[in-house]
Chains A and B, each alone.
Chain A
Amino acid sequence: MYISTPITALQRTIHRIIGSLYGVILAGGIIIIWPNLYFLLLVLIIFAGLTLWSRAFSALYYLFVTFMTASVIVLLAILMRHTDLTPNYLITERIVFTLIGSIISLVVSAILMPSNEGKDMLKTYRRYLTLFIVDYRKVSDVIDENLIDTNSLNSIYKTTEYYQSKLPIWRYRLFFNVFIYRSLILFLHRIHNMRMLTHILISGLDNLQNLEKNKDKENNVIVTDSSFLALNNYLKQNIKLTIAIIRNLQKLDRDEALELYIQLRQLNDEFNKEIEQLKQHNLKTLVITLREIETEISHLINGPIQHYLVLKHHNLDIG
């Protein structure tokens, strides 16, 4: 959690102030209640370990500051036992100087650092859309009878977890824009859902291909050859269109994305009709899944995040 913008500086400063206060209260209480040297050394030993341990909670930077502050105060209290300095002095000085340091860091970061939260959000937006494109391309691999990537589920959850863990940072960045913050969460969940739907699609296609391979053995036609051909052609067109829409969303070209979306909807309608005519119930899950992805795409095109980013970047060269 390094400082890249004034907002992250603000976030870090808030954590530092909260952590310092907690640390001062914790250590101050211990020093005042039980100032025995051996006890203080024992507390210092525990706090030293906890300082290193608290880094496990990377989003809770204040936890690290709390234990760090507490161990520094206990350390100084031990070392200054033979001086005129009192624990009260250490505690009040720590709070006052933390506040002064925080104000200086905030002012400097506000003056020197560029305000690029919008660009950061665009980066996150584009990266997350790219993840869907990468997953959706795997559908073509299955059509071409390549092997299924068995680790894809792991990768979906790893990346979703990564972006979920970044949400507290966005909470600070969009402190005054709760609506956009909530829309960002919705967007992240939507992409997660689309990736999971892709997984369902891949697993459904794989099942169908296994059935197709075994149909001679069982002497039972499950899906006709003509429907298979129609399905393959349709899926290839669908993948091409879907990826083109997502690419346009990444470029913040909403109009072009919308135009392509209308084509995608027409394509889905045609395929649905064809499946109905051929009475191929085995393909229904695929149709439902593709329809679901289509709906999610329409939400992405008309979603507040797309509008917000278009508004923020209308003056920038975003190509």
Chain B
Amino acid sequence: MNSIPTQADELAIEVRDLRKSYGENLAVRGVTFDVRRGEVFCLLGPNGAGKTSIVEILEGYRTRNSGEARVLGIDPASGSRELREQVGIVLQESGVQGDLSVYELVEMYGRYHVRQRPVDEVIELVELNEKRNERAKKLSGGQRRRLDLALALVGDPELIFLDEPTTGFDPQARRQAWSTIRSLCQLGKTVFLTTHYMEEAQFLADRVAVMRGGEIIASGRPDELGGRDLRPAEIRFELPEEVGLSDIPGVPEESRELVGARVTIHTRQPVRAAQIITTWALDGDVDLAHFSVTQPTLEDIYLELTGSGEPERTTVAEEATA
């Protein structure tokens, strides 16, 4: 089975029409996606969207109701040791033997793997050098999370699962964690990330899939998600009283509107449009107050896609009547 070289060899993860329910609650409702080797893939969505169900099915902790899943070519439900040798897992919350030191823990978890990275190198990578002899139970939250990462990395995995890796971090600790995760990408690892922070997805991910109510509702590169790159930019400014909307020269535009003195122009050629307008304003000595050009942010797109950001709960009964 492994000997047939297919396109699947390029894929770290393949998921087809994956479904998972807990009693009446449909947590995952037919999800399909691929993760290529070497990329950082992010499941983004509000709490309760089904992200953790998916990641824990791929990690082998939960069983799927139906659909296909392959992780590094292996069915994660098989409990294969070969798969566990190649995968590093950072769970959303999981304890660690608190009476052992950082060094001892990295060494201990490293031994489980046939192929392993040097303990000191891993501790260095997650910047826990100063805490190497500290008992794990004495670490701060951020340090504990970095230890989690170290324990996932010590087996030199091909693929790393990070489930909400920075939840509860202060902004500085989050930046630090991001730079560590970025350094993983430079090692050529595949990273599967879940988060409900847009910023995190934008900063780390090569590709993002947005989830809501157990379904993927959009996917793509962070800069083109939801057609973000194709959407018109907005040029805004205020017109002096003596100037009207029709006095503005023709620009490559989608639409223009005037509310009070405030003008909003939607255009797919913001640079050209801005140049024409500013040239006209400078030549005619027209004072345009509060001039700005903006592209829709990932946040705009995300909020638009996920609605209010409230987790959706749909039951079997509801879906049956729908």
A and B interact? no
